[in-house]
């Protein structure tokens, strides 16, 4: 091999090595960027429960008469060092709306924090906690999604936190602990038989319904001709909910409500018409209260057709065990606002079922045959 050939070969190797180094550098930069994005995402939700986030506002009220102060001075009032973890605690209090920043480097106690720490009447502290939960990033989204329902079993809930709400996998245990502790402080969760039922409030329904429905409508691909078939008893009082609740909720979601009512019974074979109605429906709503056998028969037909079904009940004992993995809306008729809450929640879950059918389709339907 001539010297010229050797030089050309060495130059080619050098060029190839340089190219590889550049590629590795780009890959390293992309990896660093992704890592930074994950770290940023991990810090989105408050890293303290709603009660623990009151420590700094309480110290400012007790040690500084509630006046605005610097971040560093607030650490002195709390009696701790001013470091990274303390800055995170300030961030948590800000995310709950307990502190705000009147100017850079300064923090001030909000009226919400004062209401939570020194309520002037019964229940005022709970109102403050609820407002804080509804403002907190990630926590508010998860609460609004599951309000009026039981949380899924741990494995399903953890998957939903990662896939639906973009909580990083390594932060899921921390988020769950903070989420449940905060909801307990705000009296927005009830535990029964090791399951957590997320309680609905009138303010939560009003605050989230319009935004959620609008957001889901953009992804649900609904047209005015699409129908929603309602499976429910005909007799009062449950039968009356069709015109009072379900028609309104279905139209609010942008679909056409259909029910196998008394008019259908007058002509033809009822089972054929029910089958046609279920088969033609884009989504269904099933009222399970009282365990009506006709409703469960029709529900079986819907599941056989792999149709998404929004389940609703006023009594958790009316929901069979093998359906409890599907999202169920629970309502309480003793609540003076139950009707409006149910309308909003059914409308949301109809659109959610179309966007995320795995939440509303019987498990067998999602198993490859």
Residues 146 and 252 in one domain: no
**So what's the pLDDT on residue 267?**
53
Residues 229 and 173 in one domain: no
**So what's the pLDDT on residue 274?**
87
55-64 and 84-95 helices, crossing angle to 10°: 90
CB 92 within 8 A of CB 84: no
The answer to whether position 258 is within a domain reads yes
Residues 362 and 226 in one domain: yes
Q: Residue 310 belongs to a domain with what CATH number?
A: 3.40.50.450
Last residue of a domain, which of 149, 165, 198?
Answer: 198
Last residue of a domain, which of 117, 150, 168?
Answer: 117
- Domain of 135 in residue numbering reads as 124-198
pTM beyond cutoff 0.75: no
The answer to whether position 37 is within a domain reads no
The answer to whether position 45 is within a domain reads no
Q: Inform me whether the pLDDT recorded for 363 exceeds 80.
A: no
**So what's the pLDDT on residue 61?**
98
Strands across the sheet containing 227-231: 256-259, 227-231, 283-287, 309-313, 328-330
Residues 86 and 138 in one domain: no
Question: Looking at the 3D structure of the chain, how many domains does it have?
Answer: 3
Per-residue pLDDT band at 38 (split at 50, 70, 90): very low
The answer to whether position 11 is within a domain reads no
Most confident stretch, 91-95, 142-146, 160-164, 349-353: 91-95
Residues 133 and 84 in one domain: no
**So what's the pLDDT on residue 11?**
46
Mean pLDDT for the stretch of residues 83-90: 97
Residue corresponding to tokens 């365990």: 291
Per-residue pLDDT band at 18 (split at 50, 70, 90): low
Closest to 288 (Cα-Cα) out of 326, 256, 257: 326
Residues 177 and 293 in one domain: no
Residues 176 and 225 in one domain: no
Residues 237 and 328 in one domain: yes
The answer to whether position 42 is within a domain reads no
Lowest mean pLDDT of 91-95, 96-100, 295-299, name the range.
295-299
Q: What is the pLDDT of residues 258-291, one digit of tens each?
A: 997 644 555 557 778 888 899 999 999 999 999 9
The answer to whether position 149 is within a domain reads yes
Mean pLDDT for the stretch of residues 88-106: 97
**So what's the pLDDT on residue 322?**
80
Q: CA 220, CA 254: separation in Å to the nearest integer?
A: 10
Last residue of a domain, which of 117, 142, 165?
Answer: 117
Residues 106 and 128 in one domain: no
Q: Inform me whether the pLDDT recorded for 240 exceeds 90.
A: yes
Q: Inform me whether the pLDDT recorded for 143 exceeds 50.
A: yes
β-strand pairing of 195-198 with 189-192: antiparallel
**So what's the pLDDT on residue 168?**
94
Q: Residue 57 belongs to a domain with what CATH number?
A: 1.10.10.10
Residues 153 and 259 in one domain: no
The answer to whether position 362 is within a domain reads yes
Residues 176 and 263 in one domain: no
Kindly report the number of other CB atoms within 10 A of residue 220's CB atom. 21
Residues 358 and 232 in one domain: yes
Cβ within 8 Å of residue 358, ≥6 positions away: 366
Per-residue pLDDT band at 224 (split at 50, 70, 90): confident
The answer to whether position 230 is within a domain reads yes
CA angle at residue 143 from 175 to 214, to 5 degrees?
A: 125
Mean pLDDT for the stretch of residues 297-318: 93
DSSP lists the bridge partners of residue 230 as 259, 285
Q: What is the pLDDT of residues 338-357, one digit of tens each?
A: 999 999 999 999 999 998 88
């Amino acid at each position: 091999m001539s010297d010229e050939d050797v030089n050309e070969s060495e130059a080619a190797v050098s060029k190839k090595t340089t190219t590889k180094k550049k590629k590795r550098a780009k890959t390293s930069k992309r990896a660093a960027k992704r890592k930074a994005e994950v770290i940023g995402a991990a810090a989105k939700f408050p890293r303290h429960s709603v009660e623990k986030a009151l420590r700094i506002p309480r110290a400012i009220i007790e040690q500084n008469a509630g006046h605005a102060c610097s971040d560093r001075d607030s650490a002195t009032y709390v009696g701790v060092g001013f470091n990274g973890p303390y800055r995170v605690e300030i961030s948590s209090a800000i995310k709950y709306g307990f502190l705000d920043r009147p100017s850079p480097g300064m923090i001030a106690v909000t009226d919400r924090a004062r209401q939570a720490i020194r309520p002037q009447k019964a229940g005022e502290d709970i109102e403050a906690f609820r407002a804080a939960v509804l403002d907190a990033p990630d926590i508010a989204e998860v609460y609004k999604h599951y309000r009026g329902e039981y949380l899924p079993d741990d494995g399903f809930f953890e998957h939903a936190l990662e896939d639906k709400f973009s909580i990083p996998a390594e932060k899921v245990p921390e988020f769950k602990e903070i989420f449940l502790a905060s909801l307990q402080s705000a009296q927005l969760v009830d535990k029964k038989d090791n399951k957590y039922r997320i309680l609905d409030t009138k303010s939560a329904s009003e605050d989230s319904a319009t935004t959620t429905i609008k957001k889901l409508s953009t992804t649900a691909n609904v047209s005015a001709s699409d129908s929603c078939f309602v499976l429910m008893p005909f007799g009062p009082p449950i039968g009356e909910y069709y015109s009072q609740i379900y028609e309104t909720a279905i139209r609010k979601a942008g679909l056409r409500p259909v029910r196998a009512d008394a008019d259908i019974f007058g002509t033809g074979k009822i089972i054929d018409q029910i089958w046609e109605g279920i088969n033609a429906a884009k989504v269904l709503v099933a009222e399970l209260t009282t365990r009506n056998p006709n409703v469960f028969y029709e529900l079986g037909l819907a599941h056989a057709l792999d149709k998404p079904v929004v389940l609703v009940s006023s009594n958790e004992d009316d929901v069979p065990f093998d359906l409890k993995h599907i999202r169920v809306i629970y309502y309480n008729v003793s609540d003076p606002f139950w009707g409006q809450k149910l309308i909003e929640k059914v409308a949301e879950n109809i659109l959610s079922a179309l966007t995320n059918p795995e939440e509303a389709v019987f498990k067998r339907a999602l198993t490859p045959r």
